[in-house]
Amino acid sequence: MHNTGRVTSTLTATARRIVFGETVDADIDAELGPISEVDMAHCVALAERGLIPADRVRALLAHITALRSCDFAPLRGREAPRGLFMLYESHLSDTIGAEAGGSLHTGRSRNDLKVAVLSLRLRERLRQLTGETLRLQAILLSRALRYGGVVMPVYTHYQPAVPVTYGHYLLGIATALDRDLTALSQAAAGLGTSPLGACGVGGTDLPLDTERVAHLLGFDATAPNSIDAVASRDTALRALFAATSLSLTTSRLATDLQLWSTQEFGLLWFPDDQVGISSIMPQKRNVFLLEHIKAKPAVVSAAAQTLVMAAKGTPFTNSIEVGTEGVSGLWTGLTATLDAVVLSRLLVGAGEPVTGRMAQWARDGWTTATAMANRLVRDGVPFRQAHHRIGDLVRAAGTDGPPPTSPSPTDVVEQTEYGGGPGPKSLDRQYESLRTAWTRHAASHLDWGERLRARRTELAEAVAALIETGTHPGGQP
């Protein structure tokens, strides 16, 4: 059906290919699940308000349910001259009749529907990303506990700096991830408002029960302003910013792990199932997965920048530049971040510290020099003079390394209890704080999932009751 009343033909084939793509199957997999979920909630609310007759509601809900159960098979492989949604709506009208099919869009626009679908999809993606980040942090905490006493040098400017432990380093990454988890949670909180009812941009004069629709779909509230509801994509932008920060954390982790696993450093060892070989050089063991992790921020930050530039200077209303082109990189960016988190978890879990090599570099790299200067400070020497004297000692020793009378890296680590250092008591405090925070994040994540499952159950029961009897569970027609 190409004649819509005001427009009597469809786009040209070339324009259609650019705007809607070659095939609808990929879009079906991504979008028709949430679209049809919105449709079911919308139909329930329309029926409960008596805005469309019960027989139309039954027909719509029965066929939408059937389409979902067969994974939308009747729509696959078909052309979509006016886009996936119109193909879907036309199929409903062709199958159950124009009166029933044509009633689905009562009190709704593609504008508020599109934002709702974006929110539902983004909500699930953020839930997945949060879950995997929690798993990565759990591995970091577990390995930190195991290797809290493995002394190694920490590097600044790629030079040995001071002695820490491998567990202390892993807790540093876990600390950064705690903030990333908070950012993901804050981004997800912005998805709690339903745009449905805003329609094209100005709301509707039909007495829609927008609170009921929002509840059934797992939203916490309805949009207070119809223009903002369809104009804004800041929730997507916040999700991309949070994901960008997360991908940067994993990228910096991967940079260290790759450097430390080189033959020259030799501080970490990765098993064969985490490395690749060279096609020509037989001796090579390349931890190439780390390079994939390092590259992911480029993908997700590009998606964020695309949305920023697409939105810049656009009118504050429904906009193709923002709502379609601007978010075009959203899913690719979030997938890149998810992949980085999963790969990081695998590599952190598999990497083993080479303890002898770590101890050697902590000793030979003069990582105790600062502690030696601090000992002079305790004897009353001004720090700048102590710094100079120890510097002279290091220069005079040359390649001989620290004298036998100097403190060992292990001794220094055990005494470094202040400023978040690697000392045993400090490490215990850090670990317990992060474990408490992890438990809080995990509980919130589980509660979020349980609430969404409960809402979906409520929606399924309301749909089943309307299909069977034409009434919702409360018994009203």
Separation between Cα atoms, residue 53 and residue 64, nearest integer Å: 17
Helix residue ranges per DSSP H, 400-470: 409-415, 424-469
User: What distance in Å separates the CA atoms of residue 44 and residue 196, rounded to the nearest whole number?
Assistant: 14
d(CA 257, CA 8): 61
Q: What is the CA radius of gyration of the chain?
A: 29
Residue 157 appears among annotated catalytic residues? yes
DSSP single-letter state for residue 198: -
Contacts of 163 (CB under 8 A, 6+ apart): 151, 152, 153, 154, 362, 367, 368, 409, 410, 412, 413, 416, 422
DSSP β-bridge partners for residue 164: 152
Whole-number Å distance between alpha carbons of 344 and 253: 8
CB atoms within 10 A of CB 248: 18
From the number of C-beta atoms within 10 Å of its C-beta (0-12, 13-18, 19+), residue 214 rates as buried
Rounded Cα distance, 348 and 271, in Å: 12
Q: Do residues 150 and 209 touch, judged by C-beta distance below 8 A? A: no
Q: Within 13 A of 416's CA, how many CA atoms are on the CB side? A: 25
Cα 370 to Cα 86, 163, 377: the distances in Å are 70, 10, 11
Taking a C-beta distance cutoff of 8 angstroms, is the pair 247, 296 a contact?
yes
Cα torsion for 36, 39, 40, 41, to the nearest 10°?
130
User: Which of 36, 63, 142, 157 does the annotation list as catalytic?
Assistant: 157
Nearest CA to 44 among 104, 108, 85?
A: 104
Q: Is 261 considered catalytic here?
A: no
- Residues 430, 424: Cα–Cα separation, whole Å: 10
Q: Which candidate in 142, 278, 328, 433 is catalytic?
A: 278
Residues annotated as catalytic are: 157, 278
